[in-house]
Amino acid sequence: MLRRSLLTSAIAASLLTTFSLPAFATQVYETDLVIIGGGLSGLAAAQSAVDQGAKPIVLEKEAALGGGGNFPEGSLGVGTRYQKEHNINTTVDQVLTAALQYHHYRADPHVLRVLIEESGKTIDWVMDKGVKCCGIRTMYPKDESLMTWHLFKGGAAGIIQRFAKEVRAKGGTILTETPAKKLIVENGKVVGVEAVDGEGEKVIVKAKKVIIATGGFESNKEMLAKYVNDSSALGMFEPVWYRGPVTDGKNGDGRTGDGIQMAQLVGAGVKGMHTIAGNAPYLADLPPINQFMGADELKQGRCALAQPWLWVDQHGKRFFNESRGAVFVDVYNAMTSAGGVMYNIIDQQKYDQLVNKGALLPFNAIVLAGVPLKALPKTFEIGQQRGWAFKADTIDDLAAQIGVPASNLKETMNKVNEYAKAGKDPEFGRLPEHLATFNMEKGPYYALKGIRAFFLTLGGVTVNPKFQALNPQGDVIDNLYVVGQDIGGLYDSSYDLRCEGSASSFAMTSGRLAADNALADVKAGK
């Protein structure tokens, strides 16, 4: 049931008889289910609710829907129809074991199992709504991959649009530019939400159940400084940059931890607040999101940055197996250990190879391997102007430009030449097909500077397998559910790329199941 009323102050009304002042109004709604946040998890919850005949209310802080949920290319699914049709037999136990091992078993196995078990149903669900799967991709060699990352035609942005359209068509209410301010609690139970609309008027939503889906705290500098130490640890040459959407000309959006903080104020516990979804390397160019979805010279520059010929740290020494340059979480972790910055060294032969034949390693599904990087000359043109691309006639000059000891850089390049001639890398195990010699006598030489970025925070509110919020003692906070990136306890120290596409999958699946569980309790009178 949905009911709306408008309460106007009698005092304000009387003032209107003599002064032309606006009335101070409060909009009041009543509903079974209110959802705070109109991103991927929140709209998945709303979609599941309207599928069951409910009429949820969604409160979205921003003018546009989707938030970070507009950017995933695909999602994890296990046991999907698509996998069965293509003889991919990955099991829930395989994926769960891989996740728990990756996180050193410092993750909630019960919640993870539910999310993984239900992930296939989620993929089938969105495909039943007309979303097209255009294949399964992986960042890993096929013998290492779990083959779970289902790519969507149009990406997750297309899912956002479909959900929003159908929610509205089936009687749901979506209020944009209406940020939630606090949870309403009566007799120890959450019974609604207080918000403010775009005109500054108070909005009260009385609800039997509340779902928090505000997307984490990526754009809250104070919370990042408090909880995430990857950026500010001693020895870091560069901080972690936020690869988020641009809102009102700024690098950032509405994901400022509102839902987590509201939940904490009513007694919720939190876990894993230090954990972020690191992604590296990225060019040191603002905003980093333009390398993900901007001009070709930036996307191709990001692809060139990760090619597997020679990466050095601030000291001019190798620190990583460059053959794994497409595994962005591994790169992020290795760069964190190496001081947070890297330089990819390229000679003329390798530069020409990239321009004419394409990359050896892909950049996600954005720039594929073997596609000529025709925009690379422009990449270097703008990069030299902005301070992250370098070109020199000699190795000594290149070393001076990037600020590393020339003797170290030469020694490193000579070692790589020896490894290439021998066909074996005894330091880091780079693949033989990625070992190539450098011309040590004749330039020009090129370098691209790489920094670390992150695209999600991964810590949040502690929940049970029904996605009910818990206090620090493990007790349920009545009527409150938490989904998507506001959930804590699913990751240890970094994003789990072994389970490719997990963040967006967990967002949709937790939203779908939280709505199911909440409405089941409503029907049962709980």
- Measure the CA angle with vertex 508, ends 490 and 208; round to 5°: 95
Supply 77's token pair: 């699914």
The pLDDT of residue 233 is 73
User: How confident is the model over 57-66, as pLDDT tens digits?
Assistant: 999 999 999 9
Domain ranges in the chain?
Answer: 32-57+69-177+189-216+257-275+458-482+491-524, 277-454
Confidence tier at 232 by pLDDT (50, 70, 90): low
> Poorest-confidence range of 245-259, 284-298, 416-430, 431-445?
245-259
> Poorest-confidence range of 14-23, 288-297, 501-510?
14-23
CB 66 within 8 A of CB 38: yes
Report the topology of domain 32-57+69-177+189-216+257-275+458-482+491-524.
FAD/NAD(P)-binding domain (3.50.50)
Confidence tier at 47 by pLDDT (50, 70, 90): very high
Answer yes or no: is pLDDT of 164 > 80. yes
Share of the chain above pLDDT 90, in %: 87
Confidence tier at 25 by pLDDT (50, 70, 90): low
Please state the rounded mean pLDDT for residues 75-80: 98
Confidence tier at 498 by pLDDT (50, 70, 90): confident
> How distant, in Å, are the alpha carbons of 60, 62, 202 from that of 198?
11, 10, 10
Residue 182 has φ and ψ, to the nearest 5°, of -160, 160
Question: Is the whole-model pTM more than 0.85?
Answer: yes
When the pLDDT of each residue in the chain is averaged and rounded to a whole number, the result is 93
The pLDDT of residue 285 is 96
Confidence tier at 244 by pLDDT (50, 70, 90): confident
Do the domains spanning 32-57+69-177+189-216+257-275+458-482+491-524 and 277-454 agree at the CATH topology level?
Answer: no
Q: Is 277-454 a CATH 1.10.150.80 domain?
A: no
The pLDDT of residue 16 is 32
451: Cα separation from own chain's centroid: 17
The pLDDT of residue 245 is 77
405: Cα separation from own chain's centroid: 36
Q: Cα–Cα distance between 73 and 134 in angstroms, integer?
A: 10
Supply 169's token pair: 């068509």
User: How confident is the model over 175-188, as pLDDT tens digits?
Assistant: 999 999 999 999 99
Residue 377 has φ and ψ, to the nearest 5°, of -55, -40
CB 459 within 8 A of CB 271: yes
User: How confident is the model over 307-331, as pLDDT tens digits?
Assistant: 999 999 999 999 999 999 989 999 9
Q: Cα–Cα distance between 115 and 504 in angstroms, integer?
A: 11
The pLDDT of residue 13 is 37
Please state the rounded mean pLDDT for residues 369-390: 98
Please state the rounded mean pLDDT for residues 492-496: 90
> Poorest-confidence range of 21-25, 85-89, 132-136?
21-25
In the DSSP assignment, the letter for residue 323 is G
Torsion of CA 10, 15, 18, 19, to 10 degrees: -140
User: How confident is the model over 396-413, as pLDDT tens digits?
Assistant: 999 999 999 999 999 999
Nearest to 201 by CA among 25, 30, 60, 28: 25
> How distant, in Å, are the alpha carbons of 18, 264, 338 from that of 402?
70, 45, 16
User: How confident is the model over 111-139, as pLDDT tens digits?
Assistant: 999 999 999 999 999 999 999 999 999 88
Share of the chain above pLDDT 70, in %: 94
Angle (deg, nearest 10), helices 502-523 and 119-128: 90
First to last CA, the chain: 16
Answer yes or no: is pLDDT of 293 > 90. no
Answer yes or no: is pLDDT of 11 > 70. no
For every residue of 462-518, which 3-state class applies, written as one string? CECCCCEEECCCCCEEEEEEECHHHECCCCCCCCCCCCCCHHHHHHHHHHHHHHHHH
Please state the rounded mean pLDDT for residues 274-296: 94
The pLDDT of residue 85 is 97
